[in-house]
Chains A and B, each alone.
Chain A
Amino acid sequence: MSLPGTYGVMAEFDSPTALVNATRAAHEHGYRKLDAYSPFPIEELNDVLHLHKNKLPLIVLIGGILGGLTGFMLQYYVTVIEFPINIGGRPLNSWPSYVIITFELTILFAALSSVLGLLALCGLPMPYHPVFNVPRFAMASRNRFFLCIEAADPLFDAEKTSEFLETLAPQEVSKVAN
């Protein structure tokens, strides 16, 4: 483990290929608490970091089902129980005319849960994060690619991890203050 006050060590790369190769090397070296930062999504990083599965589809499915139930129950309750109107003896539970609003609320709830789920799974909003303490990190949203090995990793050692990152031919290696 490392000194308190260190979040990790960060290496900077200038191409997505270099980032993917470095991330794979770090993963094969045994590091697990690491994250790659890039200005656009890189599919290969999902392979390297085993990120193919997440819980978002399940959250959206539950949201959609809840929305559909809400839509139908709302209309059923209002037209059958709360405010029944008999028009020419037609059935109160006229479900075919409930289809549209049931559908709309399904979509609405599913969309809301996908956005809220996205924020929750990413831990956003996050007003402070240590990676922003590296001045060069502002380029991560432009044209630079970063790999950060975190101090929380059992293999982490400020000196050795920096030396390891230097072997991956980065542009620059810097310490990330906490």
Chain B
Amino acid sequence: MPEDHDIVTERPAPHEIIAPGYTFGSVTDQIASVVLTRRTPIFWFACFSVSIVLLSGFLLAVTVLLAQGVGVWGIRMPVMWGFAITNFVWWIGIGHAGTLISAILLLLNQQWRNSINRFAEAMTLFAVACAGVFPLLHLGRPWLFYWLFPYPNTMGVQPQFRSPLVWDVFAVSTYATVSLLFWYVGLIPDLGTLRDRTQNRFGRYIYGIFAQGWRGSARHWSVYETASLLLAGLATPLVLSVHTVVSFDFTVAIVPGWHSTFFPPYFVAGAIYSGFAMVLALAIPLRSVYGLQGLITDKHLDNCGKIMLGTGMIVAYAYIMETFTAWYSGNTFEGAAIWNRMTGPYASSYWFLITCNIVLLQVGWFKKVRSSPVLLFIWSIIVLIGMWLERYMIIVSSLAQDFVPSSWGIFHATRWDWLTYTGTIGLFLFLFFLFIRALPMISIFEVRTLLPQAKVEEEAGR
């Protein structure tokens, strides 16, 4: 079939989620060719090199940390959480968009998710891996991490199940496991495609092992569809619970600026806000480098922009309510905590975060911005910075100035703090670009179902 080999490059109409003219064959070839080609774009090598450099910094920082202890970080009394927990919350939040796209949008039957769910789920997985690094290193003796889990031991002690920090261990490890399972189940049919398409013996062997002998039987597809729906149904409450549990780390404590009931929904909205920013920051360069504008269309970017706007407005509402409650509650300490944020030693960070997250958010109302990939990319980077500052503000400013002025202190990040943080960005990019090179970044079989020719034309009278 010669027409199968035509690669579609024309731009689709603004409202389309897939360019016209694709066939089952051309969709398969275009997505699989990113992996099966011998030619790797310069862009890939450039990004991978940057990630290796950052990752080397990470290895250095971790080596120093293990050799000398957590004191190499800027964590001092009273700010013992510092960068580590800021980065943990930031990374976990970024992961949430992937699960939202793959699970919640599947249940809502949003077909545009089909071409962005695969790499968004991979993003989730790698973001959770980066997040997990921080609490582990922050333990001080990371090699004893298994003490976090209940197991019969000769010390005769057990974890405190009434503590949100222990809930976090279970929530995050469950989230990581379920995300991995969901991602792998989604990959099985596409691994079968790669197994059948690759010319490389070694590749056929590896893809074959992971495809487990998938052959696209109708009996298998029937169970497979049930499994996808069930996993989506399980992942939906899970993703909402994870950031809720993370917010419990703060709200259950009585520190002013932390102890409030709106934290769970505020954290979940913030997580999705930053996660969609990361989806856009990854999708926009990838689709132009690999010429995937026909599959990840302007409509996708527009939809992601709208979700960012919606969740961003929830976050803005939370900031306003936080300030209002601090005043309206009449609680001296709550009021002082917010006042210290606005005017104290961290005022510049606070106003910078308000600018990033609330003032600049308003650009999302303009269709011009949402239809311009360049502006969307810049906006998403601003949101990522703003959401990082938000977590920094919540953790550092609340701990630095709590009840008694005699116990106040100021947090100064050290170079090892920065090196560890940028190092996890390197770890994320490293894993992500390996994924781009080795696995199909768009779900091939789900995109096939979007094509008009995938519809079965029933005979009249049936």
Contacts and interface: CB of A to CB of B under 8 A. Distances in A.
B219 A35 contact: yes
B212 A119 contact: yes
B213 A126 contact: yes
Interface stretch (B13-21, B266-274, B445-453): B445-453
A13 B161 CA distance: 58
Contact of A131 (B162, B215, B446, B456): B215
B372 interface: no
Contacts of B160: 85
Contacts of B241: 100, 103-104, 107
A45 B221 contact: yes
* Majority secondary structure of chain B interface residues (helix, strand, loop or mixed): helix
Contact of B223 (A40, A54, A83): A54
Contact of A142 (B159, B193, B212, B456): B193
Given A40-B454, A56-B230, A138 B196 contact: yes
A129 B185 CA distance: 20
A178 B287 CA distance: 44
A142 B28 contact: yes
A41 interface: yes
Contacts of B197: 138, 141-142
B216 A54 contact: no
11 contacts: A56-B226, A78-B150, A78-B161, A79-B162, A101-B170, A107-B178, A110-B234, A111-B234, A138-B197, A141-B196, A142-B197
Given A38-B218, A111-B234, A121-B223, A16 B25 contact: no
B459 A21 contact: yes
B217 A36 contact: yes
A39 B177 contact: no
Contacts of B24: 39, 142-143
Most central of A94, A104, A140 by chain B CB within 10 Å: A104
A39 B448 contact: yes
Interface string A38-64: 111111111001011010110010001
Contact of A83 (B156, B215, B235, B454): B156
Given A35-B217, A39-B216, A94-B162, A143 B458 contact: no
B196 A37 contact: no
A104 B171 contact: yes
B196 A114 contact: no
Contact of B454 (A16, A56, A142): A16
A118 B224 contact: yes
A122 B220 contact: yes
Contacts of A112: 177, 181
Contacts of B178: 107-108, 111
B189 interface: yes
B139 interface: no
B352 interface: no
Interface of B: 1, 4, 23-25, 28, 150, 156-162, 166-167, 170-171, 174, 177-178, 181-182, 184-185, 189, 192-193, 195-197, 209, 212-227, 230-231, 234-235, 237-238, 241, 245, 248, 445-446, 448-449, 453-459
A106 B248 CA distance: 20
A20 interface: yes
A131 B167 CA distance: 48
A114 B25 CA distance: 31
Contacts of A49: 218-219, 222
A119 to B, nearest CB: 7
Interface of A: 15-17, 20-21, 23, 35-46, 49, 51-52, 54, 56-57, 60, 64, 74-75, 78-79, 82-83, 85, 94, 97-98, 100-101, 103-105, 107-108, 110-112, 114-115, 117-119, 121-122, 124-129, 131-132, 137-143
A168 to B, nearest CB: 14
B217 A37 contact: yes
Given A124-B214, A129-B215, 16 more contacts: A16-B453, A20-B456, A39-B445, A40-B448, A41-B225, A42-B456, A44-B458, A49-B222, A54-B222, A83-B157, A97-B161, A97-B162, A98-B161, A100-B170, A122-B219, A141-B216
Contacts of A23: 218
Contacts of A43: 456
B242 to A, nearest CB: 9
B218 A36 contact: yes
Given A101-B161, A141-B216, A142-B197, A114 B234 contact: yes
A142 B196 contact: yes
A37 B227 contact: no
A131 B214 CA distance: 11
A16 B451 CA distance: 12
Contacts of B181: 111-112, 115
B167 A117 contact: no
Contacts of B166: 101
Contacts of B235: 111
A141 B189 contact: yes
Interface pairs A-B: 3 shortest CB-CB:
A143-B24, A126-B213, A125-B212
Contacts of A100: 167, 170-171, 241, 245, 248
Contacts of B445: 39-41
Contacts of A83: 156-158
A46 B237 contact: no
Contact of B193 (A35, A39, A94): A39
